[in-house]
Structure 1
Amino acid sequence: MRWIAGGLLVVMAATFLVTRAYAPTYPALGFVRSFAEAAMVGGLADWFAVTALFRHPLGLPIPHTAIIPRNKDRIGTTLAAFLRDNFLIPGVVARRMRRVDVAGAAGRWLANPPGGDGRIRRGAAGLATHMLEAFDQQRLGGMVKAGIGARLRALDVSPLLGQALTAAIAEDRHLPLLDGIVKWGARLLAANELVIRQMVSDRAGNIMRWTGLDETLATKIIDGLNGLLTGIAEDPEHPLRAKAEEALATLAHDLVHDPEMRARVAAVKGEIIDNPAMQRWLDGLWEQARGGMLRIARNPDKLLAGPVGDALRQLGGTLQTDPKLRRTINRFVRRTVVGMAADYGDAIVRLVSETIQGWDAGTITRRLENAVGRDLQYIRVNGTLVGGLVGLVIHGVDVAL
């Protein structure tokens, strides 16, 4: 378009020279001469105006030229202020978001995923696959593991355990645990009867072993323990069972209210997290999650055809038919976007302003000139043609008078 606009100006200059030479012989060429002369003036004037926006015409430091390069910092600040005042104010964002039904759109998409060749779905799946494969897996896995570890460390598990134990005791869900401990003790005693008899024999004197009293004592101890365990198992009101329940209740209370107990639980939790076996388990957990995401990304059609796809379609249908859920989700999305505008709006504005201010004059000139594009040269073309028409009218009036 620069060549077209410049070429038109050259054509008008050539036309002017030719008609000027032959006008005395052919008076009618005066109209053409006037058109060409005025077109040159209009074309040159608009060339100067367009050029003065972005640079000095002919490199001459004429005042009030190269307007955009000289004012690029003010342009950046003004553009940033325009973005802030018209797009990034929380109130403006909230008003715009009220007209956006994000939940409804998501519901329609989930209920009726794009059909045909599924290019959108496969494109998104391919992008996800490339991203997962392109990341530094060791570094990313370390970040994931560190994130999980940080969440686990920040979690105060002691009150959770105490509340869970209190609820279990209140609903008698701890009784199977006590019965299991008693049965485990009985099996442990039966499996180690010979060990107990040997311990009694080793600690008995020679006279007791010679008279066989050590065997009798060991039998009495084993029978007594068996009787104790049987009594605990059969009698819900057994004193030791009551003592165990009391100890569990005390433990539940201490887990919630005792700082020393909570500190001990936190220390144990830290030791478990730092254990190499736990770290290996976290590594394996990340690898399993990454493998699952890759399988899903590589075959999105299979995912949508399985139970997960059924669940997603059911969720889409629910979003379309449940206005309360849709309002809740839309409200959540709106608050999230408004919150992002409030939290990051000033940062976005500063980014725009500082980026433009950081550009050199040549960069901002090229980018703005290319952004406006062909219309700049159409200004020159229109100026040439309009100027010529004005000259033609003036010449016609002059001849008529």
Structure 2
Amino acid sequence: MRLFATGLLLVMAAAFLTFRRLATIYPEWDVPLGYAIAFTEAAMVGGLADWFAVTALFRRPLGLPIPHTAIIPVNKDRIADSMAAFLRDNFLTPQVVARRLHGFNLAAGLGGFLADPRREEQSRLRDGAAGLLADILESLDPDHMGGMVKAGLRRQLEKVDLAPLLGQMLDNAIAGKRHLPVLESLLRKIGEVVEANEPMIRAMIHQRANTIMRWTGLDERLANGVLDGTYRLLAEVIVQPDHPLRGKIDEALTKLAADLRSDPAMRVKVERIKIELLENPAMAVWIDSMWERAREALLRAARNPDKALAGSLGNSISQFGRTLGEDARLQVLVNRFARRTLVGVASRYGSEIVRLVSETVKRWDAKTVSDRIEGAVGRDLQFIRINGTVVGGLVGVAIHTVDRLLL
């Protein structure tokens, strides 16, 4: 665009010289040539004036130290502060964030994106966000970032009152009979353990039997009876939904759930067990491995979002998106949470974000600032030069017309 605007200016200059030459050769053409000369002359003036104005924004025209030129490089720090102030006043104050989010259905938009993230406009948004996330994850120090994540996870676990939570989960499981598959699996596992250790159990019974029982072989019959009775009891409990032992187990689990919710002594025991688990080195190793797997999974998903959204995970995300887009009550909850979160972020970190913008721009050298701003708006500025050339020419024709009419 710069070459086109400059070329148009040169064309006007060449046309001006040509028309002036023709005017001396063909004086009888003075009327049409007068209009042509007026157009090209004014077009050169307009084009040169706008060239000077556009160039003065970013550098010294022709390198000359003309006052009030190279405006952006000279005022780089003031521009940085102005950008930061604009960002703060228009975007990052809690009041502005709350006002801009009022009436904005973020949940519906998120639901539409999750339901069909492969639409063209959604795909560009997803790819850009995924690339940014991947760059952030790779640029952060893994050990430092991992330490922050693990420390935050540990702090949150320490704050959790685990006993009531476990009690409520156990109550819900019993009410929905979701504990029965676990109970049946446990009983089967007990049966497998007994079967795998049958020689050891027989040896223990033989060792504890007295001499008479061993002489008469009653110890072997006793061992067979114990093992057969154990297998039969386990089988009956598994296959009979109304077995009395199941009722006893349910009663014990219901009491345990009540104790977890309301018994102070039980809550103290659970809290002590939780602290011991958190202080166990094995737990630290597990958290380390969990963080590393999560980080690698996030990187893979960010670098290849199409693959991450395929299969059952993609179907689940799409289903959640459709639910979010259709359920008005869920949208209200999500929108309320999003508003509170974003207002809180603006309140706590708005000044930090503004200072980051200002300090980043101030650290750039003057040429970098000029190049980035010119790269963003330079094409439109060249249109100003083109328009100035054309409009200048038309104004020249208008002035020439008025001049001829008055004379």
What range describes the TM-score normalised by the shorter chain of this pair? 0.5 to 0.7
What residue identity is the alignment partner of 1:46? D
What residue identity is the alignment partner of 2:83? L
* Equivalent residue number for residue 100 of structure 2: 96
* Equivalent residue number for residue 365 of structure 1: 370
Q: CA deviation at 1:31?
A: 2.9
Q: Deviations over 1:237-293 (max 9, x none)?
A: xxxxxxxxxxx9xxx65677xxxxx6x997776554444444555567668878998
* Equivalent residue number for residue 42 of structure 1: 46
Distance 1:33 1:65 in 2: 31
Q: Is the CA contact 2:117–2:126 (under 8 Å) kept in the aligned structure 1?
A: no
Q: Percent identity?
A: 51
Q: Secondary structure at 1:92's aligned position in 2?
A: helix
Q: Is the CA contact 2:16–2:37 (under 8 Å) kept in the aligned structure 1?
A: yes
What residue identity is the alignment partner of 1:302? G
Aligned ranges for residues 269-284 of structure 1 at < 5 Å? 272-279=277-284, 282=287
What residue identity is the alignment partner of 2:26? Y
Q: Is the CA contact 2:134–2:299 (under 8 Å) kept in the aligned structure 1?
A: no
> Closer, same or farther in 2 for the Cα pair 1:274/1:357, shift >3 Å?
same
Q: CA deviation at 1:122?
A: 10
* Equivalent residue number for residue 8 of structure 1: 8
Aligned ranges for residues 279-358 of structure 1 at < 5 Å? 279=284, 282=287, 300-304=309-313, 319=324, 322-358=327-363
Aligned length: 313
Q: Secondary structure at 2:12's aligned position in 1?
A: helix
What residue identity is the alignment partner of 1:356? V
Q: Secondary structure at 2:24's aligned position in 1?
A: coil
Distance 2:67 2:89 in 1: 32
CA-based RMSD = 4.9
> Closer, same or farther in 2 for the Cα pair 1:279/1:346, shift >3 Å?
closer
TM-score (normalizing by structure 2): 0.59
What residue identity is the alignment partner of 1:26? Y
Distance 1:358 1:136 in 2: 23
Distance 1:295 1:15 in 2: 61
Q: Which of 1 and 2 has greater Rg?
A: 1
* Equivalent residue number for residue 34 of structure 2: 30
Aligned ranges for residues 114-263 of structure 1 at < 5 Å? 148-153=153-158
Q: Secondary structure at 2:344's aligned position in 1?
A: helix
Q: Does 1:398 align with 2:403?
A: yes
Q: CA deviation at 1:92?
A: 2.1
What residue identity is the alignment partner of 1:379? I
Q: Deviations over 1:111-154 (max 9, x none)?
A: 778699x9799979x979989x9799888777766555454555
TM-score (normalizing by structure 1): 0.60
Q: CA deviation at 1:62?
A: 0.7
What residue identity is the alignment partner of 1:333? A
* Equivalent residue number for residue 226 of structure 1: none
What residue identity is the alignment partner of 2:312? L
Q: Secondary structure at 2:334's aligned position in 1?
A: helix
Q: Secondary structure at 1:88's aligned position in 2?
A: coil
* Equivalent residue number for residue 210 of structure 1: none
